């Protein structure tokens, strides 16, 4: 196929993925938040960093929307489509379990795994182990050999967890997703990988469509949405990048996850003028707290 036609196909598939992700996520969010019974509404309501009530239904909307988009977006081979559904819905379902039944008694990898070593099975431990399993299963569908599967599975699961660590302020996790997913999409286009481009576009479209409600502090991704967003971007990375790129992504994910055990991302972002400006873009000013 001539280079011009090939590049045009890439753009078309990426556009289709983004549009499908955006449309299905908005439809799902409208369906989930319309005429909710009081009991269901309260179960999915939490207080944000301002102490104001906010719905977590943005998360299930992202999971449902991105799954539907992955199912219908053209250009995805069957194994890649299945991997996307397993990674996105699996991590999303486990995140929803933690959203609904999780406690704050144990925090972070160290806290949950320490509790598990004492014989206490926390919701966070269930999520960590479950997301690890779904990451490996989805990676097995797109990898070559056991080593490749382990590296890719760790990247998918690690990205799912890392995205959730940023979901502490309005729009932050979505912005991180867009800022990391955009280069992944561009890399897939430059490497002439249409399936990877379409795959990367799906969560980007869904996340972008839900960003206004997130920034407006009407809703948040919660564990369900953030885990799913990270897992899908992790999958896009292992599919769209070469071996050096994949190892670099895994190293970055591991380093940031380890750093989160020691430092507060919120404090680091607030202390950096550039990061703080990006973080506050579109948000209510802090003075209105």
Helix axes 172-190, 3-33, angle to 10 degrees: 160
* pLDDT confidence of residue 1: 45
* pLDDT confidence of residue 47: 83
CA dihedral (35, 40, 46, 51) positive or negative? positive
Whole-structure pTM value: 0.89
* pLDDT confidence of residue 14: 79
Number of domains in the chain: 1
User: Which structural domain, as residue segments, surrounds residue 143?
Assistant: 3-288
| Cβ neighbours of 131 (radius 10 Å) | 30
pLDDT along the chain (289 residues), means of 10: 56 82 94 71 81 91 96 90 96 92 63 60 77 96 94 96 93 96 89 88 95 94 96 95 93 94 92 95 71
* pLDDT confidence of residue 117: 62
* pLDDT confidence of residue 3: 47
List Cα–Cα distances, 208 to 26, 28, 73, 179, in angstroms. 10, 14, 17, 11
Is the separation of the CB atoms in 184 and 200 below 8 Å? yes
């Amino acid at each position: 196929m001539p280079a011009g036609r090939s590049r045009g196909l890439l753009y078309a598939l990426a556009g289709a993925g983004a549009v499908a992700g955006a449309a299905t996520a908005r439809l799902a969010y409208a369906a989930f938040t319309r005429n909710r019974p009081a009991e269901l509404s309260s179960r999915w309501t939490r207080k944000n960093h301002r102490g104001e009530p906010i719905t977590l239904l943005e998360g299930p909307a992202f999971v449902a929307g991105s799954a539907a988009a992955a199912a219908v977006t053209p250009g995805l081979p069957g194994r890649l489509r299945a991997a996307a559904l397993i990674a996105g819905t699996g991590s999303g379902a486990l995140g929803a379990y933690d959203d609904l039944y999780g406690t704050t008694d144990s925090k972070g990898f160290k806290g949950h795994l320490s509790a598990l070593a004492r014989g206490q099975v926390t919701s966070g431990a269930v999520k960590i182990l479950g997301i690890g399993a779904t990451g490996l299963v989805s990676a097995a569908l797109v990898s070559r050999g056991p080593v490749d599967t382990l590296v890719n599975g760790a990247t998918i699961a690690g990205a799912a967890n890392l995205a959730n660590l940023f979901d502490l302020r309005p729009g932050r996790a979505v912005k991180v997703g867009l800022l990391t997913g955009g280069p992944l999409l561009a890399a897939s286009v430059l490497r002439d990988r249409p399936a990877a481009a379409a795959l990367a576009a799906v969560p980007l479209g869904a996340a972008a469509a839900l960003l206004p409600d997130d920034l407006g502090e009407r809703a948040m991704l919660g564990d369900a949405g953030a885990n799913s967003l990270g897992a899908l971007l992790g999958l896009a990375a292992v599919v769209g990048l070469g071996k050096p790129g994949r190892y670099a992504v895994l190293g970055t994910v591991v380093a940031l996850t380890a750093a989160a055990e020691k430092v507060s991302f919120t404090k680091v972002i607030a202390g950096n003028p550039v990061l703080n400006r990006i973080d506050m873009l579109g948000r209510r000013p802090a003075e209105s707290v």
